[in-house]
């Protein structure tokens, strides 16, 4: 707890660190997620982008929509020194589209597969699975209108979740149709909800006029009951939008990705057109969405670029980490912990460097002069596989004992980089 003298982290913002007591904040678990994402997403041709965390506020207001919870209530916005309104990004798509337009890709190289891993900021009330600084892994597939792109993205996400070993998850898919579909559907919904005003919460009553689709998302029990009987968007879907959606579902079936159609899945950002999806889990209580996304065919144009179709997703890294356990996740531990007694530092450093030159081994050197016992204790605590003590005798004879910290067995080695490397890499395999 912070007292008068110490300053704590900002509420809802976490420190991800090695060997954290809460598994989901443990660096090793995060690295496993990052590595799995890199492998799977890159195997589909996605390439990493690192984009600014701060953008002009207008980008999100225009991109995500003024009436959404994110823009209306949750943004960390501030005036910079020049009086411009800037915002800590609440999501990654608007910034990715901004960069895509700014670098002329929409005109010159329209098909892009981008992915990212980074922090997002939303001033939501913190609870398990919901934070104010949280991380997302996301991808944007720009420049392709065909339903194959949607299906391929979903197949990739299913593979990503399987390779992480996630269980009890389900993929829910819907379509919010094209502009004509949504216009007709909004009218149908307004008519339907008008007959059930008494059961709706105040927030939904307020949204009914401007954005009736958002009512489908409300979690309050009164609204849920009404929503369950609401007309399906398929009833107003144009033939073109329907054909796209049907083809996505057909391709998912053909590639054996299990899914359920969820007629209520509209998602909380205004830029979606056509396919929308979420993967949810039964293991996280109310914050059950681990990832979501969909098509946003109008966003590039809305942000000033040429009309460009696109589809993307974002996954919450904390939620993924909450579903994983640190069991079986390899930590970044030294292969060798060198324990130098007073005066043995130079030898310790040169042996450590020779091993690092191999690019195969991790070596940590203890603090020369600290007691043998305390250095050995630290070697254990950091999870080192082997320890090597360098005292007067070892310095004099240039021979030492390599101790296996797992089973306490020892083996004699000559103290040269080559001999140590041969010994350690030999024992690796
Ligand atoms: P969204 O950008 O709202 O579509 O969210 C995509 C994913 O990001 C969600 O499925 C969650 O896994 C994650 N997410 C969204 N908001 C938060 C938050 N406040 N804290 C942690 N994860 C979040």
In-domain check, residue 184: no
In-domain check, residue 16: no
- Asked which of 325, 348, 374 is the last residue of a domain, the reply is 325
- Compute the average pLDDT of residues 228-249: 97
In-domain check, residue 292: yes
**With pLDDT > 70 as the criterion, what percentage of the chain qualifies?**
98
Averaged pLDDT score across all residues of the chain:
94
- Asked which of 325, 349, 370 is the last residue of a domain, the reply is 325
In-domain check, residue 85: yes
Same domain, 166 and 304: yes
- Asked which of 325, 344, 371 is the last residue of a domain, the reply is 325
Identify which of 119, 125, 171, 319 to mutate to test ligand 1's pocket (most ligand atoms within 8 A of the CB). Answer: 319
Q: Quick one: which atom of ligand 1 is closest to the CA of 315?
A: 7
Six token digits for residue 346: 């130079």
pLDDT digits (tens, 9 = 90+) for 150-208: 999 999 999 999 999 999 999 999 999 999 999 999 999 999 999 999 999 998 998 89
In-domain check, residue 17: no
Q: Does residue 116 surpass a pLDDT of 50? A: yes
Same domain, 312 and 385: no
Same domain, 115 and 164: yes
Helices (H), 27-174: 27-42, 57-64, 69-73, 93-102, 105-108, 147-164
How many folded domains does the chain comprise? 2
Report the CATH number that the domain containing residue 387 is assigned in CATH.
3.40.50.800
Whole-Å CA distances, 410 to 197, 378, 389, 403, 423: 77, 18, 11, 4, 12
In-domain check, residue 46: yes
Residue nearest to atom 18 of ligand 1 (CA): 130
- Compute the average pLDDT of residues 415-421: 96
If one counts every other C-beta atom within 10 angstroms of the C-beta of residue 192, the result is 16
Report the CATH number that the domain containing residue 138 is assigned in CATH.
3.30.930.10
Q: Does residue 241 surpass a pLDDT of 60? A: yes
Same domain, 250 and 346: no
Same domain, 400 and 296: no
Same domain, 302 and 413: no
- Compute the average pLDDT of residues 277-281: 96
Instruction: Say what the pLDDT of residue 3 is.
Output: 61
Helices (H), 304-371: 317-323, 345-357
Residue nearest to atom 8 of ligand 1 (CA): 316
pLDDT digits (tens, 9 = 90+) for 25-55: 999 999 999 999 999 999 999 999 999 999 9
Q: Quick one: which atom of ligand 1 is closest to the CA of 320?
A: 12
> Could you tell me the residue range of the domain that residue 414 belongs to?
336-428
The Cα 426–Cα 423 span in angstroms is 5
Instruction: Say what the pLDDT of residue 331 is.
Output: 80
429 confidence band (pLDDT: 50, 70, 90): very low
251 confidence band (pLDDT: 50, 70, 90): very high
- Compute the average pLDDT of residues 405-428: 92
In-domain check, residue 250: yes
Q: Does residue 358 surpass a pLDDT of 60? A: yes
Whole-number Å distance, alpha carbon 291 to ligand 1 midpoint, is 7
In-domain check, residue 211: no
Residue nearest to atom 11 of ligand 1 (CA): 316
The residues lining ligand 1, judged by C-beta closer than 6 Å to any ligand atom, are 91, 122, 124, 129-131, 134, 136, 268, 289-292, 314-316, 318-319
Residue nearest to atom 20 of ligand 1 (CA): 130
């Amino acid at each position: 707890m912070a007292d008068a003298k110490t300053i704590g982290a900002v509420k809802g913002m976490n420190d991800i660190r090695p060997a954290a007591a809460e598994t989901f904040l443990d660096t090793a678990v995060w690295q496993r997620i990052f590595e799995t994402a890199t492998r799977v997403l890159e195997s589909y041709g996605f390439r990493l982008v690192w984009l600014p965390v701060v953008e002009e506020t207008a980008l999100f207001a225009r991109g995500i929509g003024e009436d959404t919870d994110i823009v209306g209530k949750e943004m960390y916005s501030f005036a910079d020194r020049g009086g411009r309104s800037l915002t800590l990004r609440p999501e990654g798509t608007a910034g990715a589209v901004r960069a895509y337009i700014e670098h002329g890709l929409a005109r010159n190289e329209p098909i892009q597969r981008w992915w990212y891993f980074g922090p997002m900021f939303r001033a939501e009330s913190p609870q398990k699975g919901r934070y104010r600084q949280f991380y997302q892994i996301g991808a944007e597939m720009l420049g392709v209108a065909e339903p194959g792109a949607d299906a391929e993205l979903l197949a990739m996400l299913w593979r990503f979740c399987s390779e992480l070993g996630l269980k009890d998850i389900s993929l829910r898919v819907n379509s919010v149709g094209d502009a004509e579909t949504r216009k007709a559907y909004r009218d149908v919904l307004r008519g339907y909800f008008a007959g059930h005003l008494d059961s709706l919460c105040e927030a939904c009553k307020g949204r009914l006029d401007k954005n009736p689709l958002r009512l489908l998302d409300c979690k309050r029990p009164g609204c849920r009951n009404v929503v369950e009987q609401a007309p399906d968007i398929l009833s107003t879907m144009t033939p073109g939008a329907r054909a796209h959606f049907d083809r996505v579902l057909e391709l998912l079936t053909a590639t054996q990705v299990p899914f359920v159609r969820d007629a209520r899945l509209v998602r909380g950002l205004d830029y979606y057109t056509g396919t929308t999806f979420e993967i949810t889990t039964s293991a996280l209580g109310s914050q059950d969405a681990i990832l979501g996304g969909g098509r946003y065919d109008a966003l590039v144009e809305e942000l000033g670029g040429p009309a460009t179709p696109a589809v993307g997703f974002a996954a919450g890294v904390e939620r993924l980490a909450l579903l994983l356990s640190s069991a079986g996740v390899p930590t970044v531990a030294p292969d060798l912990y060198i324990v130098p007694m007073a005066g043995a530092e130079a030898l310790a450093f040169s042996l450590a460097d020779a091993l690092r030159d191999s690019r195969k081994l991790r070596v940590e050197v203890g603090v020369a002069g600290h007691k043998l016992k305390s250095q050995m204790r630290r070697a254990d605590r950091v999870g080192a596989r082997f320890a090597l003590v360098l005292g007067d005798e070892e310095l004099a004879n240039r021979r030492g004992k390599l101790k296996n910290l797992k089973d306490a067995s020892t083996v004699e080695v000559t103290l040269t980089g080559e001999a140590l490397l041969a010994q350690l890499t030999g024992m690796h395999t």
